[in-house]
A and B are shown apart, each in its own frame.
Chain A
Amino acid sequence: MYNTADAHHPEHPSGIWRWITTTNHKDIGTLYLCFSLLMFFVGGAFAMLIRAELFKPGMQLMDPLFFNEMATLHGLVMIFGAIMPAFVGLANWMIPMMVGAPDMALPRMNNWSFWILPFAFILLLSTLFMPGGAPAGGWTMYAPLMLQTGTAFPFTIFAIHLMGISSVMGAINIIATILNLRAPGMTLMKMPLFVWCWLITAYLLIAVMPVLAGAVTMELMDKYFGTSFFNAAGGGDPLLFQHVFWFFGHPEVYIMVLPAFGIISEIIPTFSRKPLFGYTSMVYAVASIAFLSFIVWAHHMFTVGMPLSADLFFMFTTMLIAVPTGVKVFNWVATMWRGALSFETPMLFAIAFVFLFTIGGFSGVMLALVPADWQYHDTYFVVAHFHYVLVTGSAFAIMGAVYYWLPKWTGHMYNETLAKWHFWLSVISVNVLYFPMHFLGLAGMNRRLPDYPVQFTDLNQIVSVGGFVFGVSQLLFVACIILCVRGGKKAEAKVWEGALGLEWTLPSPPPYHSFTEPPAANLIWAHPYQND
Chain B
Amino acid sequence: MSAQAHAANHYYIPHGTHWPILGSVGLFTTAVGGALWLEGLDFGGYLCLLGIIIIFLMMFGWFGTVIRESMSGTYNAQVDRSFRWGMTFFIFSEVMFFGAFFGALFFARVFVENWLAGGSNSLFTNLLLWKGYEPAWPSNGPGHVGGSFEGMSAAGIAAINTLILLSSGVTVTIAHWGLKEGNRKKLCWFLLFTIILGFSFVGLQAHEYIHAYTEQNLTLGSGIYGTTFFMLTGFHGLHVTIGAIMLTVILLRSLKGHFTPQHHFAFEAVSWYWHFVDVVWLGLFIFVYWL
* A interface list, Cβ under 8 A from B: 1-8, 10-13, 18, 20-23, 101-103, 105-109, 111-112, 115-116, 118-119, 122-123, 151, 154-155, 157-159, 161-162, 165, 168, 171-173, 175-177, 179-181, 206-211, 213-215, 218, 220-221, 224-229, 231-237, 240, 243-244, 247, 305, 307-308, 513, 516-518
Contact = CB atoms under 8 A, between A and B. Distances in A.
B70 to A, nearest CB: 11
Contact of A235 (B24, B82, B141): B141
Contacts of B4: 1, 3
Contacts of A221: 220, 227, 231
A352 to B, nearest CB: 35
B20 A227 contact: no
Give the interface centre of A5, A101, A151, A231 by most chain B CB atoms within 10 Å. Answer: A5
Nearest to A110: B20
Interface string B7-26: 00111111111111101110
A101 B79 CA distance: 13
Contacts of A2: 10-13
Contacts of B28: 119, 122-123, 162
B129 interface: yes
9 contacts: A2-B10, A6-B15, A18-B16, A109-B86, A162-B28, A175-B85, A226-B146, A235-B225, A305-B121
Contacts of B16: 12-13, 18, 21-23
Nearest to B141: A235
B14 to A, nearest CB: 5
Interface stretch (B110-118, B197-205, B236-244): B110-118
Interface in B134-154: 139-143, 145-146
Nearest to A309: B120
Given A155-B31, A171-B89, A235 B116 contact: yes
Given A206-B96, A236-B224, 4 more contacts: A111-B17, A119-B27, A226-B221, A233-B143
A313 to B, nearest CB: 14
Contacts of A181: 78, 82
Contacts of A168: 90, 93
Contact of A236 (B5, B112, B120): B112
A236 B224 CA distance: 6
Contacts, number: 255
Given A151-B39, A231-B141, A235-B113, A180 B13 contact: no
Contact of B35 (A158, A172, A516): A158
A161 B129 CA distance: 35
A171 B89 CA distance: 9
A207 B92 contact: yes
Contacts of B286: none
Interface in B37-88: 38-39, 62, 65, 69, 74, 78, 81-83, 85-86
B142 A112 contact: no
Interface stretch (B97-105, B176-184, B254-262): B97-105
Query: B-side binding surface: helix, strand, loop or mixed?
Result: helix
Given A181-B78, A232-B142, A3 B224 contact: no
Contacts of A243: 103, 107
A234 B225 CA distance: 9
A162 B32 CA distance: 12
Contacts of B39: 151, 154
A430 B123 CA distance: 46
Contacts of B99: 210-211, 214
A513 B13 contact: yes
Given A111-B20, A209-B93, A210-B96, A234 B143 contact: yes
Nearest to B90: A172
B82 A176 contact: yes
Given A108-B19, A244-B104, A307-B120, A158 B31 contact: yes
A180 B96 contact: no
A439 to B, nearest CB: 33
B34 interface: yes
Nearest to B100: A214
Contact of A229 (B5, B38, B90, B224): B224
A100 B76 CA distance: 18
